Amino acid sequence: MSIARSEAMPRRPLTALLAWRLLVIAVVLISGVSGVAVAAPTACGEAGTTSIARIRGLDGPPVAEGEQVTVEATVTASFPGDRGLNGFYLQSRQPAAAIFVYAPDLDARNAPRPGERWRVEAHTGRYREQIQLERLESTRFCGAGAVRPAVLDPDRPDAYSGLRDRLVTIPGPLHVAEVYNLGRYGSLALARGGRPFHPNNGVEGGRRIDLLLDDGSYRRDPRPVPHTDAGGVRRAGDRVGPITGILAHAFGRWRIHPVADPDFAAANPRSPAPPAHAGLRALQLNLRNYFIDRDGRGPPTEAGFARQRERLRQVIRRLDADLLVLHEIQNHPAAVENLLMFLNADQPPAKRYRQTLDARSEAVIRSVLLYRPQQLALVDSGRHMADVHPRDPVTGRFRTDSGEVLRVVAAHFKSRGGCPDAGDVDRGAGCWAERRLHQSRVLIDWLGETQPSGGSAAAPTLILADFNAYAREAAITAWRDAGFVDLLARALPPDQRYTYNYRGLAGYLDHALATPSLLSRLDGVHIWHINADEPAYLGREAAGIWRSSDHDPMVVDLDGAAP
């Protein structure tokens, strides 16, 4: 491939060429219109070109793959080198059409730049079913050009295909719906009108749009991580916009590669831990696979496991709860003992924990209920063994110094994934919704049958559970119908009712339910949003509390004791 300036242009020193380019771009920006008159080389503008629309097949069948063509058009974006897309985009005015030029031999020093017009001789090609130009024969600089970005309405995905590879702008504002893949692929999921919530969460929110904010690259693990602030932070719920960039379709998704850094606003900043509480504090947290074996779930290395343990310990110690309901622990006594020893290390006797029950079911993971013996006396404990439960719910009754008793239940219901081919498939409430409903009904009945007084909803009981169901799904409605109170819905504003973010939809799969007899003792309910809003890569690479799990910790504060 040859990279050539037009022979009609005199050879300039590098500084002069840079000044020429800056002048060209300035003229384009000041004019704000297409067709800026700049003297072009004699080789530019000659006959023999093929329109981009013809190559793409916008007015007939596309040009066959492998054909040599000549295109003259304006550069709208350039992402050179293997840290970018290894090429640049060309766009024509009439008819409006654009195409990607794959040019891996170009780098930031000699790649065409936005606002320049170039004449390119190359071959037509395909990459992942996308039409592009490749195998460049020659390029010629033809002066200045200008392209006005088309306004993209993100609520009209049916119009996206007509703007493929073109320069577009979204006026905004938009919201960041999800940051899960930010560290892995440099992309963010977007929404209109605020944070989107799962429709079964019972909360009005924004709307997801079928568009990712990408980073001008398809490489994995970009470093530094794009779209973050000076402190390296970007969270779901933040505002962004306007965005101007190239609308592309790759890996099954529409995405926009910005040509300038978008403006972000930290609309959802990191928050401090809930304030200390003088009464009785209960904490629920899904530990996301606390495994002491390195050949199964959890971190694959000892260093990763050490980091996981330390991060979880920091979270638990900051919240300083007297009761811990913890999920996704390896179902082996040694794993629970490992966790207890780690949490109790260097702690005074009043802060140390003990488990209620050392019992095993056949599940791979289990829930545990831990308590501080110097604050609570264990009256009795048990587990609910039933075929409907993949993991046995665990219960404990505790007596406080005043002699009052509280019953606590820890449960982790069937997950929403791993759909069967038929039967209990996803009908809007995730896979296995019928089983989760059955689990709720069976557990409610068992709690009523095993109360010493023979009562059910009248007895003082606190349920802390990862039910894998949202608030308006049948598995949760069954608890309200049985007289239990949804503490998160009672205590928190709608926009704070989430502990999890899945595919850009926030909601609470984790629940705090109580019998009405506990409400007079309720001092506070908190969700500390340290995980759901944070990108997944922090869990693998970072220290500290942020993204120490995938669920947010949930706290219930009671006034000293249960009634």
Half-sphere exposure (Cβ direction) of 48: Cα atoms closer than 13 Å: 10
Between CA 141 and CA 434 the distance in angstroms is 65
For residue 89, the tally of other CB atoms under 10 A from its CB is 28
Contact 285, 521 (CB under 8 A): no
pLDDT at position 560: 64
Residues 6 or more apart whose CB falls under 8 angstroms from that of 286 comprise 326, 327, 328, 412, 466, 510, 549, 550, 551
Kindly state the percentage of the chain with pLDDT values over 90.
82
Q: What is the pLDDT of residues 533-555, one digit of tens each?
A: 999 999 999 999 999 999 999 99
pLDDT at position 401: 75
The values of phi and psi at residue 8, to 5°, are -75, -15
Between CA 198 and CA 383 the distance in angstroms is 32
Least trusted range by pLDDT, from 24-33, 304-313, 368-377? 24-33
The values of phi and psi at residue 316, to 5°, are -65, -40
Residue 396 scores a pLDDT above 80: yes
Between CA 379 and CA 369 the distance in angstroms is 14
Beta bridge partners of 170: 243
The values of phi and psi at residue 449, to 5°, are -70, -30
As a three-state string, the secondary structure of 375-401 is: CCEEEEEEECCCCCCCCCCEEEEEECC
Least trusted range by pLDDT, from 57-61, 206-210, 372-376, 558-562? 558-562
| Element of type H or E holding 544 | none
Residue 115 scores a pLDDT above 50: yes
Residue 516 scores a pLDDT above 50: yes
- Average pLDDT, integer, range 51-74: 95
Residue 402 scores a pLDDT above 80: no
Q: What is the pLDDT of residues 228-282, one digit of tens each?
A: 999 899 999 999 989 999 999 999 999 999 999 999 999 999 999 999 999 999 9
Q: What is the pLDDT of residues 474-491, one digit of tens each?
A: 999 999 999 999 999 999
Task: Provide the sign of the torsion angle of the four alpha carbons 301, 307, 309, 311, taken in this order.
Answer: negative
- Average pLDDT, integer, range 214-230: 96
Contact 456, 447 (CB under 8 A): yes
Between CA 447 and CA 409 the distance in angstroms is 9
Task: Provide the sign of the torsion angle of the four alpha carbons 24, 27, 33, 38, taken in this order.
Answer: negative
Q: Amino acid identity, residue 107?
A: D
Residue 527 scores a pLDDT above 60: yes
Between CA 100 and CA 112 the distance in angstroms is 12
Split at pLDDT 50, 70, 90, the class of 359 is low
Q: What mean pLDDT is reported for the chain?
A: 90
Q: Classify the phi-psi angles of 115: left when phi > 0, otherwise alpha if psi is within -120 to 50, otherwise beta.
A: left
Between CA 44 and CA 139 the distance in angstroms is 10
